[in-house]
Amino acid sequence: MFDWTEQSVLVTGGTGSFGKHFVGVMLERYKPRRLAVLSRDELKQSEMKEQFPPGRDSVMRYFLGDVRDRERLERAFSGVDIVVHAAALKQVPAAEADPFEAVQTNIMGTKNVIEAAIDSGVKKVLALSTDKAVNPVNLYGATKLVAEKLTIQANAFGIPRGCALACCRYGNVIGSRGSVIPIFKAQREHGKITLTDERMTRFWITLEQGVEFVIRCIERMRGGELYVPKIPRMTLTDLADAMAPGTEREVVGIRPGEKLHEVLIGEDESRLATEFDDHYVIEPSYRSWSADIVPDGGKSVPDRFTFTSENGAVTLSSEELIELSGGL
C-alpha cells in the first residue's frame, strides 16, 4: 500500500491549472509530509500562497525557478521523493511562432528535470504528456513526443540509481486555460461563436479526473510505463450545441498545427499496449533495463488497434459534458 503521508512531493509548473488542483487534492485527501511548487511566475505564486499558505506549521513550500535552470532544479529537488513534471509551453500557436522557446522548455527542461531528479535521489518522476504527441503535426506535439522518449529511456540510468520514471498521456482538460470552452463562453456573450471545422473531434477529461489519474499512476508505476486513461470524446458541434444552443456560428477553417481528430494510442503503438479496466499501459519500444513494468490483469489490444477521438472512444453527450464541467 502506497503511503502518501511519508512522501515529499514537488510539482513543476505547479501554479498552472493542473498544479493548483493537484495541490488542493493532495492537501485535502493524501496529506504528504511535504508538498512543493516550482514555477517561474511570481504573481501566480503569490496568489497561490493565499490559498495554500506556506509556513512553519504548513507542509507547503514554494520555489521560484524555471525548468531550464538545472542548478535551481537540483536545489529544489533536495529531499524530494516524487516529482510531477507538469511545466510546459503548451499553446500550439505560440510554439509555432517561437519554436526555440518551446524546445528550451519542453525538451531541454524535461532533460534537466530528469537529470536533476536522478542526481538528487528522487524516487519517482511522472511527466505529463498530451494526445498531440501521437503522430504530431505541430511543434508542441513534437516536443512532447521527445519529452516522452527522454523520460521513458531515462530509466536505463535512473532505475539502477533508485529513480523510476514514467509518463501519462491524456487529452483536453475541460475548462483549462487555452481550451475552447472558455473561448466559447466569451464568444456566446456576443451572439456568435467560431468553429474551425464542424467535423473536428476531441478527447475530454476534467481536472479532477486528470489529477486522480496522475496520482494512481504514481502509486502503481515501476518505471518505463506510458499511461493512457480511457476518456470520452466529443464533436466540436456537439460542444457548441451544449454551450451555445441556437447561437450563430461561423466556420473559420482549421488552424495551422491542428488535427481534425486526436489520437491517444497510435496503430504502431498497439503491439506495445496492454488494456486494463480504466486505462492502457504502453511499454517502451526499446528497453535496455530489466524489469517487469506491466502488472498482471491486463490484456493485449487487437492488432492495429488505435484509440482516437474520431471513432475509438465513448462519445460524451451534451448533458454529460455539462455535468462534468459543473455547468456551462
Active site residue 230: no
The DSSP bridge pattern shows strands 192-195 and 172-173 to be: unpaired
**pLDDT of residue 108 exceeding 70:** yes
pLDDT at 178 (0 to 100): 63
Structure confidence at residue 292 as a pLDDT band (50, 70, 90):
confident
pLDDT at 294 (0 to 100): 85
Is residue 38 within 8 Å of 50, Cβ to Cβ?
Answer: no
37 vs 314, higher pLDDT: 37
Q: Say what percent of the chain tops pLDDT 70.
A: 96
Q: What is the mean pLDDT of the chain?
A: 92
The answer for residues whose C-beta is within 8 angstroms of residue 58's C-beta and 6 or more apart is 52
CA distances from 157 to 10, 109, 118, 149 (A): 21, 18, 8, 14
Cell of 53: 499558505
Please report, as a single letter, which amino acid is at residue 254.
I
This prediction's pTM: 0.93
In tens, the pLDDT along 152-184 reads: 999 999 999 999 999 999 988 886 666 777 788
Identify the top-confidence range among 289-293, 295-299, 313-317: 295-299
Instruction: Kindly report the CATH number that applies to the domain delimited by 7-172+205-230+264-308.
Output: 3.40.50.720
Q: Which range has the worst mean pLDDT, 17-31, 95-109, 150-164, 248-262?
A: 248-262
CA dihedral (66, 219, 302, 203) positive or negative? negative
Task: Kindly name the residue from 20, 90, 132, 149 that is annotated as catalytic.
Answer: 132
Give the span between the Cα atoms of 85 and 67, in whole angstroms.
Answer: 9
The DSSP bridge pattern shows strands 164-170 and 226-229 to be: parallel
**pLDDT of residue 298 exceeding 70:** yes
pLDDT at 76 (0 to 100): 98
304 vs 291, higher pLDDT: 304
Is residue 112 within 8 Å of 70, Cβ to Cβ?
Answer: yes
Cell of 254: 482549421
Structure confidence at residue 327 as a pLDDT band (50, 70, 90):
low
Give the span between the Cα atoms of 308 and 314, in whole angstroms.
Answer: 10
pLDDT at 328 (0 to 100): 59
Structure confidence at residue 214 as a pLDDT band (50, 70, 90):
very high
pLDDT at 153 (0 to 100): 96
In tens, the pLDDT along 233-273 reads: 988 888 888 888 888 888 988 888 889 999 999 999 999 99
The stretch 127-137 carries a mean pLDDT of 96
Closest by alpha carbon to 106, among 137, 145, 136, 74? 145
232 vs 242, higher pLDDT: 232
Quick one: how far is CA 245 from the chain centroid? 30
**pLDDT of residue 44 exceeding 80:** yes
